[in-house]
């Protein structure tokens, strides 16, 4: 029985077309793109072609794209480096980020708060939605940057980034969006959304780990995290990760071409899965279900059982999923994202499992996962003191 992988939001396998595209760069095309000789020039040409592929995927020009090591680098670069756009550096030290950002933003913003920045963490409601009036009200005289992700990695909720960008710009504030879970999966055009900075990642779209790209709007600047070399037009020092860059260009180009089909096919699988789980397994709740969500992601709480236990048992039976439950992640707190959606009900947050579908998900997998889940949940509830208590209350 082959394993069933339902954790595409965590990472994806490298797709064959991408693998084929990088093979020459593992062999004869080894030059340093900064070199003036033929070896270097040849690779430089290929690198610029990949940059054009990435740019085209989000509706911009190649010179707006900076390659880096991934979404974490992109996000941290923006948070740490945006102030270079403001002459009065000290005056613009207020940041607004949502409470459901990826840890690389959330934790960095917390760290910056300790270092003297002013940070507002914008809450979401129990559907996972952000209230735009609350956002407007959070803006201060000294607000310099608003950062809200395009698609949430845990729940799949899609945020109104176009509207947020407008609110920011009306007040002279820069807007950044972490599009690691969006780029290549849903239509994303910078001409329409008008963000100042956009973070993208390669390994979420069937390219290797360790490659990402940052969009920087014309006229905007970022203080680089890595300094020294003149690479990436002085915006990111260090010899370029050519293999990653070639892969990301190819992967993003293909993703855009296949987006409409993927949306229909993967979306149908996700919907069927969700429908069956919610009807066939009692006491289940879909997190973020009423919000506008991406077609790949389903986040479900299974009451009375703990997420890590469910995840471990699924793994044992050949099914890979992830949990926002405390116990899986090396921290003791449940996911701040799911907590936000569970109205602070920590039991529900501890019971959540994320299923994320992708290119190699197949229809036949849905019934296998649903029946295995039903069995595991029943087993665990069979000796859950919380379930027992619930049954007693029902009787009483």
Partner 1 sequence: MEYTEKVMDHFMNPRNVGKIENADAVAEVGNPSCGDVIKMYLKISNDIIEDIKFQTFGCGAAIAVSSKTTEMVKGKTITEALELTRDQVANELGGLPAIKMHCSNLAADALHQAIKTYLKEHGRS
Least separation in angstroms between CB 322 and partner 1: 13
For residue 85, the tally of other CB atoms under 10 A from its CB is 17
User: Residue 67 interacts with partner 1 (CB under 8 A)?
Assistant: no
Whether 104 is catalytic is no
User: Residue 284 interacts with partner 1 (CB under 8 A)?
Assistant: no
Q: Contact region for partner 1 (CB under 8 A) — 2-10, 139-147, 201-209, 383-391?
A: 383-391
List 57, 96, 164, 309, residue binding partner 1 (CB under 8 A): 309
CA angle 22, 28, 29 (to 5 degrees): 60
Least separation in angstroms between CB 2 and partner 1: 21
Q: In this structure, are residues 358 and 9 in contact, taking their beta carbons and an 8 Å threshold?
A: no
List 67, 159, 206, 304, residue binding partner 1 (CB under 8 A): 304
- Residue with structure tokens 């995840």? 311
Burial of 116 (0-12, 13-18, 19+ CB in 10 A): exposed
Q: Contact region for partner 1 (CB under 8 A) — 18-26, 172-180, 277-285, 343-351?
A: 343-351
User: Residue 313 interacts with partner 1 (CB under 8 A)?
Assistant: yes
For residue 394, what are its two tokens?
A: 């029902």
Q: Contact region for partner 1 (CB under 8 A) — 1-9, 37-45, 220-228, 382-390?
A: 382-390
Least separation in angstroms between CB 199 and partner 1: 28
Catalytic residue of the set 10, 56, 312, 327? 327
User: Residue 308 interacts with partner 1 (CB under 8 A)?
Assistant: yes
User: Residue 346 interacts with partner 1 (CB under 8 A)?
Assistant: yes
CA dihedral of 148, 154, 158, 163, whole degrees rounded to 10: -10
For residue 349, what are its two tokens?
A: 């947050």
User: Residue 312 interacts with partner 1 (CB under 8 A)?
Assistant: yes
Task: Report the residue number, 38 or 332, with the smaller CB distance to partner 1.
Answer: 332
Q: What is the largest CA-CA distance in the chain?
A: 83
Task: Report the residue number, 278 or 327, with the smaller CB distance to partner 1.
Answer: 327
Least separation in angstroms between CB 91 and partner 1: 41
Count interface residues toward partner 1 (CB under 8 A): 27
Q: Distance between CA atoms of 95 and 258, rounded to whole angstroms?
A: 36
C-alpha dist (Å) from residue 312 to 325, 354, 368: 12, 13, 16
Least separation in angstroms between CB 232 and partner 1: 36
3-state secondary structure of 7: strand
Least separation in angstroms between CB 319 and partner 1: 15
Task: Report the residue number, 181 or 352, with the smaller CB distance to partner 1.
Answer: 352
Long-range contacts of 258-266 (CB under 8 A, 24+ apart): 258/359, 259/184, 259/185, 259/186, 259/187, 262/185, 262/295, 262/359, 263/186, 263/295, 266/295, 266/296, 266/357, 266/358, 266/359, 266/361
List 232, 253, 306, 365, residue binding partner 1 (CB under 8 A): 306
Q: Distance between CA atoms of 396 and 390, rounded to whole angstroms?
A: 10
Least separation in angstroms between CB 299 and partner 1: 17
Strand extents, DSSP E, 73-181? 94-98, 118-122, 143-147, 174-178
User: Residue 332 interacts with partner 1 (CB under 8 A)?
Assistant: yes
In DSSP terms, 284 is beta-bridged to 302
List 87, 383, 393, 396, residue binding partner 1 (CB under 8 A): 383
Q: Among all residues, which ones are annotated catalytic?
A: 327
Under the rule (CB under 8 A), what is the footprint of partner 1? 304-309, 312-313, 316, 325-328, 330-332, 334, 346-347, 350, 382-388
């Amino acid at each position: 029985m082959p394993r069933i992988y339902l954790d595409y939001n965590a990472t994806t396998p490298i797709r064959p077309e991408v693998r084929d595209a990088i093979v020459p760069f593992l062999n004869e095309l080894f030059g340093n793109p900064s070199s003036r000789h033929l070896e270097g020039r040849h690779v430089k040409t290929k690198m610029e072609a990949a940059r054009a592929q990435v740019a085209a995927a989000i509706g911009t020009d190649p010179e707006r794209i900076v390659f880096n090591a991934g979404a974490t680098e992109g996000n941290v670069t923006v948070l740490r480096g945006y102030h270079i756009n403001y002459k009065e550096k000290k005056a613009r030290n207020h940041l607004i980020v949502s409470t459901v950002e990826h840890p690389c933003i959330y934790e960095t913003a917390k760290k910056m708060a300790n270092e003297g920045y002013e940070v507002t963490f914008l809450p979401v409601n129990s559907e996972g939605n952000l209230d735009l009036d609350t956002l407007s009200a959070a803006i201060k005289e000294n607000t310099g940057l608003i950062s809200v992700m395009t698609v949430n990695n845990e729940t799949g909720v899609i945020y109104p980034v176009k509207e947020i960008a407008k609110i920011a710009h009306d007040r002279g504030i820069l807007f950044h969006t972490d599009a690691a879970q969006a780029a290549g999966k849903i239509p994303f055009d910078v001409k329409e959304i008008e963000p100042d900075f956009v973070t993208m990642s390669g390994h979420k779209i069937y390219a290797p780990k360790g490659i990402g790209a940052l969009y920087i709007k014309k006229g905007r600047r970022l203080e680089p995290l890595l300094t020294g070399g003149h690479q990436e037009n002085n915006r990111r020092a260090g010899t370029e990760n050519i293999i990653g860059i070639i892969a990301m260009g190819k992967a993003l180009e293909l993703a855009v071409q296949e987006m409409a089909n993927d949306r229909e096919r993967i979306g149908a699988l996700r919907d069927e899965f969700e429908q069956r789980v919610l009807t066939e397994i009692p006491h289940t709740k879909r997190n973020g279900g009423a919000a506008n969500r991406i077609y790949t992601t389903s986040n479900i709480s299974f009451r009375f059982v703990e997420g890590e236990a469910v995840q471990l048992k699924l793994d044992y039976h050949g099914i890979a999923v992830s949990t926002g439950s405390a116990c899986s992640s090396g921290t003791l707190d449940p996911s701040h994202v799911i907590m936000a959606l569970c109205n602070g009900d920590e039991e529900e947050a501890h019971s959540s499992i994320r299923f994320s579908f992708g290119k190699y998900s197949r229809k036949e997998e849905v019934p296998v996962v649903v029946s295995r889940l039903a069995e595991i949940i029943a087993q665990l509830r069979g000796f859950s003191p919380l379930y027992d208590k619930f049954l007693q209350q029902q009787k009483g």
